Amino acid sequence: MRIVLSQQGWVFDGLTGLEWLFLQRLPALVDELGAEDGARLRLFPDPIREQEAREGSGTDEDEEGVGIIGDWKEYVRPELETLFDEARRVVAMDLEQVQRLEEESDDEIEEAGEPQVFYSVEVKGEHVEQWNSTLNQARLLMNEVHGLAESERELAEGVMDMSGDERESEEEEEGRTRQAKAYPQWLLLAQYGFYGAIQSFLIEQVMDV
């Protein structure tokens, strides 16, 4: 895959089948992971802890949730949820504009005449905030559900055993979520890193332009 700037915004060019699957799954992945118990709260953390609200700010919170935390849940969080949902809707609409490209393979190992398939998606620059938001949501939830940030760091340091998930104890296996059991660790890390690379490009090349 290449990400290149265009007059209108940017283009995801030369996406392989796996890369397109990662990209295509982006909006739905946030919805699925957000359905895990408690995971969606990672997107909307309270601005301060309840105890800090009581002791540090001089603002009491009664049993009905009145006060800083109550105001956050009643007014701010619903607005954020609306913005995040709208961001995913925009991304999903952009992904519907995908183009499927076929190129004849010149690899003698490949079967004669069987084309290689790639995908391309052009996105308007005005949608960069929605894309950045959706990518950020996906990475936050993936880390919350699968605990990938630490694994990514260990992998970068060259100390992670990629076959480790095959030797899980019964307790670890029980503790893993349904979503985590559906994919091997290396594939989750690849998807997590893929989203991070796109987000870095958008922040550095599109949002600052």
What is the spatial distance between Cα 138 and Cα 151, in angstroms, rounded to a whole number? 16
pTM attached to this predicted model:
0.74
pLDDT tens figures, 128-137? 999 999 999 9
Nearest to 95 by CA among 18, 31, 12: 12
What is the spatial distance between Cα 30 and Cα 42, in angstroms, rounded to a whole number? 12
Taking each helix axis from N to C end, the angle separating 128-146 and 77-95, rounded to the nearest 10 degrees, works out to: 110
pLDDT tens figures, 157-174? 554 454 444 444 555 555
3-state secondary structure of 17: helix
pLDDT tens figures, 46-66? 665 544 544 554 444 444 445
Structure tokens at 174: 């029980």
**139: enclosing H helix or E strand:** helix 128-146
Strands (E), 16-133: 99-104, 115-124
Query: Tokens 């690849």 identify what position?
Result: 190
Contact present, 77 and 42 (Cβ < 8 Å): no
